[in-house]
Structure 1
Amino acid sequence: METTDGKSRTAHILLTVASFVVVVAGIKAAAVIVVPFLLALFISIVCSSPLFWLKGRGLSTWLAILIVILGIILAGYIIAALLGSSIDDFSRNLPEYSTKLNEQYGSMITWLESRGIDMSRFELVEMMDPDKAMQLVAMLFNGLGDVLANGMLILLTVIFILMEASGFPGKLKTIFRDPDRSLAQMGRITENVKHYLAIKTMTSLMTGLLVAVFLFIMRIDYPLLWGLLVFLLNYVPNIGSIIAALPAILQALIQFGPGRALGVAIGYVVINMLIGNFIEPRFMGKGLGLSTLVVFLSLIFWGWVLGPVGMLLSVVLTVTVKIGLESREDTRWMAILLGSGVSGPAETGIEEPGR
């Protein structure tokens, strides 16, 4: 009997793993469709709060949706205009930047060798290519442009999701046997995602503005562009702020040399420490309910499956999966493994301030 139970348990685990692999492969294959839908879904979740607020003030559903959509279009237009002109200028100047960066790189090698350090012994030096660093920056901006190219599809999807939002609870009551539990679960996921995205957007905006002002004072080219990059990559946990700092540091190195580049690096560290260690924790509460290792691995996993957008949404997607796993007794152990402790359901999701 025990042997039969053991085989059944093993078969169940193998079936679960196989299903997971098939689902992930399907999502990755359909990333072109899934990515715009995910963006539209999370934009809709963020916009649902102002939408319901406007409806609570007596506005009709159509008028409230129209106001929210106009706000989205205005924000998207400003971002697209900023990205478009700055990326064009940066792309035109890329060959000149690459040449200057190579000169700075050569000067650094010469200076080190003049101090008795034989750089030919270090294989890492041979692998470093300043041209690739600048090309990577250009590729990153082009990737952002590709995302904006799906703007109309994303916008239409957001409109339809917002239109369906009010009738969604009624559909759930018809579908599920236990609608109250399902509605509570969906409400929990939605509130956690809304709270996280609202706080993260606020702190990312503060970080981006501070960086843009700081770079303007330091007379670094494209301060608004680098500030926007900081705003976007601040959604990427652990390494997002590091990646966002590299282009501006390279720009400072090209324009003014190592001294100014070091000053820019120090400024980035100070700003990120101020926001990340003092302001963000005050509003975010106890945290994400995810271990640091899981946050980092989720960044890699979702980035591999969905590309740059997957990296931006990695934390939200993982928290959503964790809450879903916790809702079932047979998968709760997986949620515990994803969590930052062993206290169980109370730690799941994004904590409210003061909890």
Structure 2
Amino acid sequence: MGISDTSTGILKGLVVIAAVFIVLAGLKTATNILVPFLLSVFIAVICNPLIAKASEYKIPKALSVTLVIVLFLAIALSIAGLVGNSLNELSQQLPQYRTQLNEEFAWVTNKLAEYNIAISSAVLIEYFDPAAAMGLAADMLSGLGGVMANLFLIIITVVFMLFEASSLPKKLHYALDDPEMRLSQIDRFLQSVNHYLAIKTVVSIGTGVAVSLMLWVIGLDFFLLWGVLAFLLNYIPNIGSIIAAVPAMSLAILQLGPAAAGGIGLGYMVINTVMGNMIEPRFMGRGLGLSTLVVFLSLIFWGWLFGTVGMLLSVPLTMIIKIGLESSEEGRWFAIMLSSDDDVEKYHTAK
């Protein structure tokens, strides 16, 4: 009997593992469809509080939805235009930066030759190509640009979601077995996501503005582009701010020299320390409820599954899974494992 139970348990475990891999393979295959849909959902979640606030002032829903969508389009297209124009100018100026780099490397190799150290400048250039250094920023932005190609589909989906949002609680009330508990969980999720995105957006804007001002004072070209990049990549937990510094420092080496690049790197470090380690943690704990390790691992997982957009949405997507697991006794233990220390105490108190 014991052996039979053990065999049954192992078989069930294997079936669950196989099912997980099948689901992941399906999600990976359907990325082109799922990514625009996920973006639509989260844009609608962000915009819906504005629509609800407008309804309190007796503003017709059609008008409020139109105004919110126009505002979103204006911001999105402005950022896209700035990034596109800056990248085009950057590609045109790369030959000039290469020429300057050749001169600097020639000076270095000549100095080394005085000490009987023979290094070819061509070898140095091969390992430090400005185009390759700038490619990091281009690849990250192109991932978002690919999503922008579906902008019309995303906007239409968001519009329909915003019009349907007011009737969703009523539908869920009739559809769910325990509507009061389920609706409270959904409401908690929406509040958590809105709180997280609000904090992250404010911190990201502050980071982008601080980076732009710092680079403008130093005199680095395309300082607005690097500020926008810092703003966007700050949504990626843990490593986004580090990635944002690489292209700007690479350009600084070409344009201003290694000393200025080191100063820019130090400036990025100070900005990210203040914004990410001092200001953001003061408020983020209430909005996340996830451990730092889980945030980092979710970044890797969702980035692998959905690319750049998955990295940007890694935290909200993980929060959905955590809140869903909390609703069942079987999954509650896993939700606890995903939780931060403060949330674990809440589970203990609830018992």
Q: TM-score, normalised by structure 2?
A: 0.89
Q: Is the 8 A contact 1:105 1:130 kept in 2?
A: no
Counterpart AA for 1:263: G
Q: Mean alpha-carbon deviation: is it higher for 307-316 or for 180-189?
A: 180-189
Q: How does 1:120-135 map to 2 (within 5 A)?
A: 131-135=131-135
Q: Decide whether the 8 Å contact of 2:238 with 2:296 is kept in 1.
A: yes
Q: Counterpart of 2:321 in structure 1: which amino acid?
A: V
Distance change >3 Å, CA 292–CA 99, structure 1 → 2: farther
Which residue of 2 is the match for residue 291 of structure 1?
A: 291
What does residue 190 of structure 2 align with? 190
Instruction: Kindly state the Cα deviation for residue 118 of structure 1 after the two structures are TM-superposed.
Output: 9.9
Change (3 A) 1:129 1:155: same
The corresponding residue for 1:314 is 314
Contact 1:281 1:287 in 2 (8 A): no
How far has the Cα of 1:35 moved from its partner? 0.7
Change (3 A) 1:19 1:140: same
For residues 127 and 43 of structure 1, what CA distance do their matches in structure 2 show? Answer: 41
Instruction: Specify the alignment match of 2:262 in structure 1.
Output: 262
Provide closer, same or farther for how the CA distance between residues 15 and 63 of structure 1 changes in structure 2, counting only shifts above 3 A: same
User: Structure 1 residues 324 and 223 mapped into 2: Cα distance closer, same or farther (>3 Å)?
Assistant: same
Match of 1:331 in 2: 331
Deviation (angstroms), 1:53: 0.5
Q: Contact between 1:91 and 1:138, CA under 8 Å: does it hold in 2?
A: no
Q: Cα offset for 1:70?
A: 1.4
Aligned to 1:302: 302
Could you list the per-position Cα deviations for residues 220-276 of structure 1 after superposition, in whole angstroms to 9, with x for gaps in the alignment?
111111000001000111110000011111111111101110111111111111111
- 1:116 offset after TM fit, Å? 9.7
Cα contact 2:290–2:340 (8 A) shared by 1: yes
Match in the other structure for 1:352: none
Q: 111-120 or 277-286, which moves further after superposition? A: 111-120
- Residue 59 of structure 1 aligns to a residue whose secondary structure is coil
Q: Find the aligned partners of 2:189 and 2:343 in 1 and give their Cα distance.
A: 19
Deviates more, 1:187-196 or 1:93-102: 93-102
Partner Cα separation in structure 2 for residue 262 and residue 329 of structure 1: 53
Displacement of 1:203 in angstroms is 0.6
Within-5 A mapping of 1:31-110: 31-98=31-98, 100-101=100-101
- The aligned amino acid for 1:138 is A
Query: Structure 1 CA distance, aligned partners of 2:271 and 2:250?
Result: 18
Equivalences, count = 345
Cα distance change of structure 1 residues 230 and 14 upon mapping to structure 2, 3 Å threshold: same
- Report what 2:205 is aligned to: 205
Counterpart of 1:244?
244
Sort the Cα spacing of 1:209 and 1:140 in 2 relative to 1 into closer, same or farther, 3 A.
same
> Given the superposition, is the C-alpha separation of residues 236 and 114 from structure 1 closer, same or farther in structure 2, using an over 3 Å criterion?
farther
Partner Cα distance (2:32, 2:69) in 1: 23
Q: CA deviation at 1:181?
A: 1.8
1:113-152 map, 5 Å: 131-152=131-152
Q: Would you say 1:219 and 2:219 are equivalent positions?
A: yes
Could you tell me which amino acid in structure 2 is paired with residue 278 of structure 1?
A: M
Q: What do residues 284-328 of structure 1 show as CA deviations (whole Å, max 9, x unaligned)?
A: 235733232222221111111100000111111112211111221
Structure 2 gap ranges (5+): none
The question of whether the paired residues in 2 share the 8 Å contact of 1:326 and 1:345 is answered with: no
Would the alpha carbon gap of residues 2 and 113 (structure 1) be closer, same or farther in structure 2, given more than 3 Å must change?
farther
Q: Shift of residue 57 of structure 1?
A: 1.2
Measured in 1, the distance between the counterparts of 2:310 and 2:151 equals: 17
> How far has the Cα of 1:40 moved from its partner?
1.0
For 1:117 and 1:288, the matched residues in 2 are separated by 54
Q: Matches of 2:193 and 2:113 in 1, distance apart?
A: 53
Give 1:283 shift. 2.4
Unaligned 5+ residue runs, structure 1?
Answer: 349-355
Kept after mapping to 2: 8 A contact 1:245/1:265: yes
Residue in 2 that maps onto 1:153: 153
SS in 2 for 1:167: helix
Contact 1:102 1:130 (8 Å CA) reproduced: no
Percent identity between the two aligned chains: 47
Counterparts of 1:61 and 1:83 in 2: how far apart (Å)?
Answer: 33
Hey, what's the Cα distance between the residues in 1 that align with 2:12 and 2:98? 55
Q: Distance in 2 between matches of 1:54 and 1:157?
A: 20
Aligned 8 A contact 1:204 1:231 in 2: yes
Paired letter, 1:12: K
Does the 8 Å contact 1:94/1:134 carry over to 2? Answer: no
1:273 aligns with 2:288: no
Partner residue of 1:351? none
**Alpha-carbon distance in structure 2 between the residues aligned to 1:112 and 1:331:** 63
Q: Residues 323 and 99 from structure 1, CA distance in 2 versus in 1: closer, same or farther, beyond 3 angstroms?
A: farther
How far did residue 104 of structure 1 move? Answer: 5.1
Whole-angstrom CA distance in 1 between matches of 2:127 and 2:333: 43
- Whole-Å Cα distance in 1 between the matches of residues 288 and 102 of structure 2? 42
Moved more, 288-297 or 178-187: 288-297
